[in-house]
């Protein structure tokens, strides 16, 4: 078992500051408060391989530089004098890093997994910065892996991917004696809050408010009628997760995306929405998409929590899946364009729509494509249909530890090259555990059948779900 040593590393930034929270910060704060006392539920962990020739002091020094550069990593949160959420940037301080030295034969990734599990049990105090912890794995005297664990209030997954790339880039420059190029322009959360209160920001929020109103008018009351009709005493729902690693789906997506002239994400979303709609007996499917909200150049290199969850309703009528996919692609483009919104206004609109209908509206159905290349269409020659079907033999579906708070939450990842990973967490009242496995297989099977059905342009009729 790895030997652990804890180090504290200082950081120094350009300023301290106090400002109103951003829309995305307020959105995540609301989700976190609902999850209490498990405040660590929404924490995020990410890791990076380290370049050769670095030493532990180099890694800690660069981490300190990144802490000083990105204010979100040294920000605390809490209600201000008027009761609204406030972000408070700490100018200087220190953060803790665990240095884990592996024993002979120990896999550094196992050390990383154990650290991630331990972080899951240790909630941050959101009122005390920094909301950041780090770990470095050392093998044979050299650091080989580094990981970040942050509150989701401080950073989202895209931020941590950027942070990992910056760590590797700065370490490489430091260990080779070359000057590191300056970072790309980025916006700090304090300035993002100021932008949202500017005339242009207010215009965007007004547009997204109208978008929410339209979506709530079109959305069904629920995608899971069995839950709506459940009259048993309410209790904490039991949830079950499974993961599917599919080479067949990975081969099929770019072929269908090229054929239908949409993104691979739209293809997969179409398959998922179609199966959910059939299951519910509905002509539409409403899901929440996780919007990155990095629409401006200065936000693409930002380290902050920018993501918000925005609803999209997909029309499933007609007998042509390519047509539905193009509809879904257009609907998602519009949804992402309205991904920045005031969460308090959205909640007000939801309650107003429920009062008008005289029934609750559940938006507890989520699709989260976290692949770095989810908008990329196929490159190179497309896989032939027989090769896609043959790849079904390699599919693995198993139980997974993933946990979410929604009735249906699907995560799409491409962590393993050449395979598509789908992780589905569902309320067992809506999906019994065997049905979770079946649904994942159905998504894969539908994609393979669509590849084989090219002459008829992928009719929907007669497909099993």
Residue 38, pLDDT score: 77
- Give the whole-number percent of the chain exceeding pLDDT 70: 94
| Burial class of residue 381, CB neighbours in 10 A (0-12, 13-18, 19+) | exposed
Residue 174, pLDDT score: 92
Q: Residue 347 in contact with residue 390, Cβ under 8 Å? A: no
Mean pLDDT, residues 382-386: 90
Mean pLDDT, residues 164-188: 92
- The two tokens of residue 46 are 């990410």
Residue 442, pLDDT score: 98
Total-model pTM: 0.91
Asked if residue 374 has pLDDT above 60, the reply is no
Mean pLDDT, residues 330-344: 97
Span between the terminal Cα atoms of the chain, in Å:
46
Mean pLDDT, residues 148-177: 94
Distance between CA 235 and CA 209 in Å, rounded? 33
Secondary structure (3-state) at 366: strand
Q: 376 or 194: which carries more pLDDT confidence?
A: 194
Vertex 196, ends 194 and 198: CA angle to 5°?
70
Instruction: Give the architecture-level CATH label for domain 214-456.
Output: 2-Layer Sandwich (3.30)
Residue 13, pLDDT score: 97
Q: How far, CA to CA in Å, does 313 sit from each of 13, 93, 316, 326, 429? A: 43, 46, 9, 13, 23
User: Residue 229: pLDDT band by 50, 70, 90 thresholds?
Assistant: low
Asked if residue 301 has pLDDT above 70, the reply is yes
Asked if residue 76 has pLDDT above 50, the reply is yes
Phi/psi at 8 (nearest 5 deg)?
A: -105, 130
Domain with CATH 3.30.559.30 in the chain: 214-456
Task: Pick the closest to residue 382 from 246, 268, 253, 270 (CA basis).
Answer: 253
CA atoms within 13 A on the CB side of 115: 30
Residue 376, pLDDT score: 47
Domain with CATH 3.30.559.10 in the chain: 3-193
| Helix spans in 121-220 (H) | 157-176, 189-196, 199-218
Mean pLDDT, residues 330-359: 97
Distance between CA 111 and CA 137 in Å, rounded? 7
* Backbone CA torsion sign across 295, 301, 307, 313: positive
What is the topology classification, in CATH, of domain 3-193?
A: Chloramphenicol Acetyltransferase (3.30.559)
Condensed to tens digits (0 to 9), the pLDDT of residues 181-220 reads: 888 899 999 999 999 999 999 999 999 999 999 999 999 9
Over the chain, what is the mean pLDDT? 91
Asked if residue 231 has pLDDT above 90, the reply is no
Phi/psi at 103 (nearest 5 deg)?
A: -95, 160
Asked if residue 66 has pLDDT above 90, the reply is yes
Asked if residue 375 has pLDDT above 60, the reply is no
Residue 454, pLDDT score: 64
Distance between CA 419 and CA 409 in Å, rounded? 20
Distance between CA 73 and CA 58 in Å, rounded? 19
């Amino acid at each position: 078992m790895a030997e652990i040593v804890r180090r504290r590393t200082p950081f120094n930034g350009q300023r301290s500051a106090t400002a109103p929270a951003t829309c995305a910060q307020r959105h995540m704060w609301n989700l976190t408060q609902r999850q209490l006392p498990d405040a660590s539920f929404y924490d995020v962990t990410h890791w990076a391989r380290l370049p050769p020739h670095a030493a532990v002091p180099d890694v800690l020094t660069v981490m300190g530089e990144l802490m000083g550069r990105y204010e979100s990593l040294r920000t605390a949160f809490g209600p201000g004098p008027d009761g609204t959420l406030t972000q408070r940037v700490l100018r200087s301080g220190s953060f803790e890093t665990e240095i884990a030295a592996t024993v002979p034969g120990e896999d550094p990734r196992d050390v990383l997994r154990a650290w991630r599990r331990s972080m899951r049990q240790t909630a941050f105090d959101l009122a005390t910065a920094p909301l950041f912890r780090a770990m470095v794995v050392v093998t044979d005297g050299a650091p080989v892996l580094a990981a970040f664990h942050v509150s989701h209030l401080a950073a989202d997954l895209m931020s941590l991917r950027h942070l990992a790339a910056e760590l590797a880039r700065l370490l490489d420059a430091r260990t080779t004696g070359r000057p590191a190029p300056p970072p790309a322009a980025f916006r700090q959360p304090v300035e993002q809050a100021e932008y949202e209160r500017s005339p242009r920001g207010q215009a965007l929020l007004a547009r997204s408010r109208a978008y929410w109103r339209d979506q709530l008018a079109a959305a069904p009351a629920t995608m899971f009628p069995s839950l709506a009709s459940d009259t048993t005493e309410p209790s904490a729902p039991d949830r079950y997760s499974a993961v599917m690693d599919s080479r067949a789906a990975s081969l099929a997506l770019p072929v269908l995306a090229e054929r239908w002239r949409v993104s691979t994400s739209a293809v997969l979303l179409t398959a998922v929405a179609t199966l959910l709609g059939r299951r519910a007996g509905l002509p539409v499917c409403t899901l929440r998409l996780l919007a990155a909200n990095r629409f401006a150049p200065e936000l693409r290199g930002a380290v902050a929590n920018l993501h918000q969850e925005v609803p999209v309703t997909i029309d499933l009528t007609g007998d042509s899946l390519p047509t539905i996919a193009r509809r879904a692609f257009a609907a998602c483009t519009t949804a992402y364009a309205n991904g920045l919104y005031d969460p308090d206004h959205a909640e007000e609109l939801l309650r107003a729509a429920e009062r008008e209908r005289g029934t609750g509206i559940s938006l507890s159905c989520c699709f989260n494509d976290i692949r770095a290349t989810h908008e990329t269409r196929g490159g190179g020659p497309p896989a032939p249909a027989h090769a896609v079907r043959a790849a079904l033999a390699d599919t693995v579906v198993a139980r997974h530890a993933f946990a979410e708070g929604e009735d249906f939450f699907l995560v799409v990842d491409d962590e393993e090259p050449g395979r598509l990973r789908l992780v589905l967490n569902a309320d067992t009242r809506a999906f019994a555990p065997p049905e979770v496995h079946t649904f994942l297989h159905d998504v894969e099977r539908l994609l393979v059948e669509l590849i084989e059905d090219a002459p008829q342009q992928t009719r929907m009729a007669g497909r099993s779900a």
